[in-house]
């Protein structure tokens, strides 16, 4: 793969090349096939896997990817929303934050709302994130809401200051 060229057109395949077998000279292809570099090919690998979705409004969804299309609209099965409530000011012997899951079921997510999706390592899935503890939903929801209000207010102040000296925020309207 080191032989990739910056040109888009791959050289024509050579006819006389023997098929690669075990022990044969492993000739790297001059260029990877273009169909590997499509949105569909990237999502194909993730199909039927447990994914973590990060949405534009800051929500984190966990579910199994069952279907998708060329716009990266996604259908997720057994979706849960995971709410995180970080506690950065907590004393050292207290957890760094809490999280809780809200079960949702089948979700269809419009592609434009997806920031990032990641395949979950099932070996690590059962461990809580480092420093975090599972909390009761109502409590976590309340803490997360408080934190969000705080962050929003801080962001607003920051943007105001930036605007006053001539800068414009790049992701206005998005909490990301």
Closest distance to another protein from the beta carbon of 58 (Å): 9
Closest distance to another protein from the beta carbon of 77 (Å): 18
How many Cβ atoms are within 10 Å of 140's Cβ, its own excluded? 22
Interface of this chain with another protein, residues 5 to 64, rule: CB under 8 A: 5-8, 32, 36-39, 41-43, 45-46, 52, 54, 60
* Contact pick of 33, 170, 172, 173 for another protein (by CB under 8 A): 170
Closest distance to another protein from the beta carbon of 175 (Å): 8
Any contact of residue 121 with another protein (CB under 8 A)? yes
* Contact pick of 26, 92, 116, 165 for another protein (by CB under 8 A): 116
Sequence-distant (6+) residues with CB within 8 A of 89 are none
* Contact pick of 96, 104, 141, 147 for another protein (by CB under 8 A): 96
How far apart CA 13 and CA 88 sit, in angstroms, is: 58
Distance of CA 29 to the CA centre of its chain: 31
Strand order in the sheet with 74-86: 50-55, 60-68, 74-86, 97-109, 132-134
How far apart CA 144 and CA 138 sit, in angstroms, is: 10
Any contact of residue 151 with another protein (CB under 8 A)? no
Closest distance to another protein from the beta carbon of 143 (Å): 14
Indicate the DSSP class of residue 92: T
How far apart CA 40 and CA 72 sit, in angstroms, is: 8
Interface contacts to another protein, rule CB under 8 A: 1, 4-8, 32, 36-39, 41-43, 45-46, 52, 54, 60, 72, 82, 84, 86, 96-97, 99, 114-121, 124-125, 127, 129-132, 170-171, 176
């Amino acid at each position: 793969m080191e032989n990739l060229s910056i040109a888009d057109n791959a050289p024509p395949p050579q006819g006389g090349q023997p098929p690669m077998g075990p022990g044969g000279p492993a000739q790297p292809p001059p260029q990877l096939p273009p169909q590997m570099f499509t949105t569909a090919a990237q999502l194909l690998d993730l199909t039927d896997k447990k994914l973590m979705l990060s949405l534009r409004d800051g929500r984190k969804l966990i579910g199994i990817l069952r279907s998708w299309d060329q716009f990266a609209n996604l259908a997720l099965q057994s979706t849960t929303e995971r709410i995180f409530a970080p506690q950065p000011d907590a004393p050292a012997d207290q957890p760094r934050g809490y999280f809780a899951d809200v079960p949702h079921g089948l979700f269809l997510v419009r592609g434009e709302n997806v920031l990032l999706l990641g395949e979950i390592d099932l070996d690590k899935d059962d461990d809580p994130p480092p420093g975090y503890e599972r909390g009761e939903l109502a409590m976590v929801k309340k803490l997360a809401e408080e934190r969000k209000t705080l962050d929003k207010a801080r962001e607003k102040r920051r943007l105001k200051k930036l605007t006053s000296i001539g800068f414009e925020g790049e992701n206005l309207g998005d909490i990301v």
